Structure 1
Amino acid sequence: MEKLFDPISVPIILVDKDTKIRMINQIFADYLGFPKEEILGKPVLEVDEFSRFPYVLSSKKPEIAWKHKFKNGKTAIVHRIPVLDINQEVAYGFGLLLFQDVKEFKDIIEKNKLLETALNYAEEQLKHLHGAKYSWENILGTSEKMVLAIYMGRRASQTKSNVLLLGESGTGKELFAHAIHHSSNRQHERFIKVNCAAIPAELLESELFGYVEGAFTGAKKGGNPGKFELASGGSIFLDEIGDMPLSMQAKLLRVLQEKEIERVGGTRTIPVDVRVIAATNKNLEKMVEEGSFREDLFYRLNVMSIEIPPLRERENDTADMAMKLLEKLSSQLGVYVSTISKNAMEHLLNYHWPGNVRELENVLERAINLTDTDTIHSIHLPFRITGNKKLHKLSKGQTLKSILEETEKEIIKNYLDELNHNKVKVADILNISRSSLYDKIEKYQLNPPLS
């Protein structure tokens, strides 16, 4: 064993089941500052009074990469591993020094961090260049309507056809656009995003198609390529397409038909190979009837139409979505919040979510900022979600006093249930004295039943 282990440059030790040292290589003996002959056969605690080998052998549990300070004052990163026989009894204890100096360990950690940072930066730059940040794995949903939308999106991504994403604001149309590009054969090319509602009408043409030098006052020397040129070979996402002016709709139609653009102020046509993914929360068919959206453009865009359902129509998706968003937001905000109480979840499930997933995310972020624990309770949710719905169905003849008392009783009851009848916390939240809270509990008979 000495011939085997002595040439190894990593300090190694072997103790028997009684913690006596049976083998130690030369580099470890030198590290401890003793001749090998004095170490062999001694109990390990006589050589190093801080050794944890007795504990490791009795617990039969290894200690991996532990920081250990030796009797001689040196600090290292060590492994201690119990070796068990066929009867699962301790036969030996095997140890080695992973790093002979904690500074050496810290240096390697810092180097790894620098490499990881450089790698992450490179990946972010590639994402920024290519544009598509999300894939189908980022889109959650098991409801029938959502499963159908995802299926349609996956099929659309494998075609060359234009895609039209329909749905209310906040349903995740942009996520679908990212995922469609990400899973298409254009995934390694650029994904350019344009919000048609955010760009003034007079600037939209130059933004989409670019301009030549001298096209207008302030035009950049040498001109500037537009979004369609930049996206050539890849995909362009035209968000809020329903807000595009009629004059621009005619020019967009020509690009879709001819596969070429002409810069503002220019005379040369430039061929472009672009896959268009458009999205809107408006009823384009109604707009076509009203004359505010071109019928021919609508049919050009409406080749692969995907309707993304609002959150209120996604059956049981709200709970899964809330937990996934909670995990994401906790990571972003640097706060560990991992649970939504049963009562709070019921409120989330019963709310109609006019703002869809975006509103759910905002509500959860607000709740995370308000809670002092790892759990979101009803008290951390906005009143529009937790408000007493009974007020909307008042019985005839109810007085203002009875309505207020009913509301007060409901609020106190909810807080008591939520906080396991912790009256100190409830009084603090409601900003009333404990004696006042006790009186109201007695008045409304809200004491928990005796077990």
Structure 2
Amino acid sequence: MVKDLNLNKLKVGSTIIIGDTIQEITEIGKSCFPECNIIKKGEICPLASEALFTRVKKGGNIKIGDYVNIKDSLYSYVESYKYVNQIVDSIPLGYMISDLYGNIEIVNKQMLDMFGYRMEDIKGKRVLDLFKGWATVKNLITSYNTFTDEEVLVNAKTNKVRFNLNASPLLNYEGEVVGIIYIFNDVKKERKLANKLMGRQAIYTFDKIIGNDEGFKRLIDFSKEIADSRSTILITGESGTGKEILAQSIHNYSNRREEPFVAINSGAIPKSLIESELFGYEEGAFTGAKKGGQPGKFEIADKGTIFLDEIGEMPYDMQTRLLRVIEEGTISRVGATSQKVVDVRIIAASNRDLEEEVRKGNFRKDLFYRLNVLPIEIPPLRKRKGDIPLLVDYFMEKISMRLNKKKVHISKTDMDKLMDYKWPGNIRELENLIELIVNVGYIPTKITEGNLESDIKKDTNARAEELSLDYVEKIHIAKVLKMYSGNITHAAKVLGIGRNTLYRKIKKHGIE
């Protein structure tokens, strides 16, 4: 017999050491062989109540009284990892260990919280009860591979939830795989990182929208009121009025602010690609399709907001598919036979008169009504002239700081001219003008109603010489020479050029 045999500590597949042998447990029983009725000193054989069957992996001597050494079994790893759990419990990741039969041995508090289970709920569960695809994970791990950054659908306490899973092998002292270590991460956190890296993030908020015009302020108030609504929003307005800025602000004011904001320009994508771009595709759907397929913008925006800019440019056949997404809340990848449920808030925008496009037959009437549930029309800049001084000050401050240049003072006369201008390019045109003013350091000499662009060109052409690199170089060299009283050696050293080079430039520019 062996001492300290405790079957509760052992499992099929565990490795144990008895004497000089290494054995793998193949079966654990609660009774000995039926024919075993040995009685010694008036006592029944101790193995009559418990039996352990093993396969010898390494032979050796066993003698009466040998202890069972289980430090090489998975159980010993579990025991040794108990103190590690005190550290792991403080890490915001779900952590679990199972044996190769899928029996769960260790979980940390974070994983219980993520899945909504209590410790007593998880006892007796197997990994395959938690998520589909465990066999794939096991096959990879037992082949000494890892399972990296894959999404799995976990059977949480109240619902099925997607988590990001990393799995790696747990090895014994001989380098054999005896278990699997699992690390679960919240997919939302993965998405937030991806959103930052890929630019899928709304950066504008309502406090960055400038305007004191009463009608414009009512528009902002209305936008805030509907921010949490699941209904579709249609933003209309001329080019340059800030439709995407308003869409981002609505998203950041809503209860979806922590989720993705995905913007797509319907008019910038070729007709042949727009379907796969919006709805994704399966592996093998077409020549050149990525292995494993690719999610579309609607899948990426799940739980968040998708902004469909220039919706009036969307091909007519794609309008039908978009209508189905709005009505049913499902999408189907190109090449797929199944549907996926998505929870996406749609904000569409157009600088076209969509009602006129409907009359022309270019835009579906039913889609227009579905999109136009919450309409917002942004007024052109010429209809909110009182906001022009505010916008000029805002852009002057912002652009001068970004370019590290001085702000340019704008007189009342020039401001009046700016307010009288029609601004066909709206706020975008005004911002570009202020950037030009900051760069050149002066205001175009002639700003007349309806002819600003040509006047700027005339004015800049008139002073083209002053903006050239040669002119700037000439002025700078003359300034440095004056600072050092014409001393060529000192001036060349400060300019970072050789004396001969400086002489050539003095001659070239005719500096006396």
Shorter-chain TM range is 0.5 to 0.7
One-letter amino acid of the structure 1 residue matched with residue 443 of structure 2: H
Q: Does residue 242 of structure 1 match 2:312?
A: yes
The answer to whether the 8 Å contact 1:164/1:279 transfers is yes
Q: What is aligned with 1:403?
A: none
Q: Is the 8 A contact 2:256 2:303 kept in 1?
A: yes
Contact 2:200 2:261 in 1 (8 A): yes
The secondary structure found in structure 2 opposite 1:279 is: strand
Higher relative contact order (CA 8 A, sep 6+): 1
Partner of 2:451 in structure 1?
384
- The alignment partner of 1:379 has SS state of coil
**Residues 163 and 303, structure 1, Cα contact 8 Å, conserved in 2:** yes
Are residues 130 and 217 of structure 1, via their aligned partners in 2, closer, same or farther at CA, if it must alter by over 3 Å? Answer: closer
Which of 316, 319, 340 aligns to 2:386? It is 316
The answer for unaligned runs of 5 or more in structure 2 is 1-191, 460-512
How far off is 1:123 after superposition? Answer: 9.8
Aligned to 1:149: 219
**1:211 and 2:281 equivalent?**
yes
Tell me the alpha carbon deviations over residues 157-194 of structure 1, each in whole angstroms, 9 at most, x when there is no partner: 12111110010000010100000000000000000000
Aligned mates of 1:124, 1:314 — CA distance in 2: 39
| Offset at residue 379 of structure 1 (A) | 2.6
Q: Look up the equivalent residue of 2:377 and give its one-letter code.
A: E
Distance 1:329 1:204 in 2: 36
Deviation at 1:362, TM superposition (A): 0.8
- Does 318-327 or 228-237 show the bigger shift? 318-327
In 2, Cα distance between the equivalents of 1:226 and 1:368? 41
Cα distance between partner residues in 2 of 1:249 and 1:336:
49
* Residue 380 of structure 1: how far off its partner (Å): 8.3
Report how far residue 144 of structure 1 moved. Answer: 2.2
Amino acid in the other structure paired with 1:155? E
Helix, strand or coil at the partner of 2:204: coil
The one-letter amino acid paired with 1:254 is R
Pairing 1:81-120 to 2, within 5 Å after superposition: none
Q: Is the 8 A contact 1:130 1:189 kept in 2?
A: no
Which has the higher mean CA deviation after the structures are superposed, 258-267 or 334-343?
Answer: 334-343
Kindly state the Cα deviation for residue 152 of structure 1 after the two structures are TM-superposed.
Answer: 1.7
Q: Give the CA deviation at 1:231.
A: 0.1
Report the counterpart of residue 264 of structure 1 in structure 2.
Answer: 334
Tell whether 2:283 aligns with 1:283. no
The answer as to whether partners of 1:347 and 1:386 remain within 8 angstroms in 2 is no
2:256 paired with 1:190: no
Q: CA deviation at 1:384?
A: 2.6
Sort the Cα spacing of 1:167 and 1:127 in 2 relative to 1 into closer, same or farther, 3 A.
farther
- Aligned letter for 1:384? N
CA distance in 2, matches of 1:262, 1:232: 14
Residue aligning to 2:325: 255
Contact 2:381–2:427 (CA under 8 A) maintained in structure 1: yes
Structure 1 segments of 4+ aligned residues over 4 angstroms from their partners: 122-130, 380-383
Q: Which residue of 2 aligns with 1:303?
A: 373
What root-mean-square deviation, in Å, do the aligned CA atoms of Structure 1 and Structure 2 show? Answer: 2.3
Question: What SS is found at the alignment partner of 1:157?
Answer: coil
Q: Which amino acid aligns with 1:238?
A: L
Q: Would the aligned equivalents of 1:130 and 1:188 in 2 still touch at CA under 8 Å?
A: no
Residues 131-150 of structure 1 aligned to structure 2 (within 5 Å): 131-150=201-220
In 2, distance between residues paired with 1:238 and 1:290? 21
Given that 2:276 and 2:333 are in contact with CA atoms closer than 8 Å, whether structure 1 keeps it comes out as: yes
Residue number in structure 2 paired with 1:433: none
* Structure 2 partner of 1:224: 294
TM-score for both structures, normalised by structure 2 = 0.49
Letter in 1 for 2:451: R
Aligned counterparts of 1:129 and 1:378: Cα–Cα separation in 2: 36
- Distance (Å, rounded) in 1 between the aligned partners of 2:415 and 2:444: 8
Matches within 5 A, 1:440-451: none
Distance 1:194 1:259 in 2: 19
Per-residue CA deviations over 1:105-149 (Å, capped at 9, x if unaligned) read xxxxxxxxxxxxxxxxx9997486651100001111111221122
Indicate the structure (1 or 2) with the bigger Cα radius of gyration. 2
How far off its partner does 1:368 sit?
A: 1.2
Q: Does residue 181 in structure 1 map to residue 251 in structure 2?
A: yes
- Over the matched positions of the two proteins, sequence identity in percent amounts to 48
Q: Distance in 2 between matches of 1:226 and 1:142?
A: 39
> How many Å separate the matches in 1 of 2:268 and 2:413?
40
Distance change >3 Å, CA 258–CA 387, structure 1 → 2: closer
Which is helix-richer, 1 or 2? Answer: 1
Tell me, in whole angstroms, the C-alpha distance in 1 between the residues paired with 2:256 and 2:235. Answer: 19
Q: 1:149 to 1:234 in 2, by over 3 A?
A: same
Task: Say if 1:135 and 1:181 are closer, same or farther in 2 by CA, change over 3 A.
Answer: same
Q: Distance in 2 between matches of 1:351 and 1:234?
A: 39
1:284–1:215: structure 2 CA closer, same or farther, 3 Å change rule? same
Query: How far is the alpha carbon of 1:385 from its aligned partner?
Result: 2.6
1:324 to partner: Cα distance: 0.4
Instruction: Tell me the residue number matched to 1:368.
Output: 438
What is the TM-score when the length of structure 1 is the normalising length? 0.56
Name the SS for the 2:422 alignment partner: coil
Shift of 1:366: 1.1
* Alpha-carbon distance in 1 for matches of 2:406, 2:318: 48
SS of the aligned residue for 1:340 comes to coil
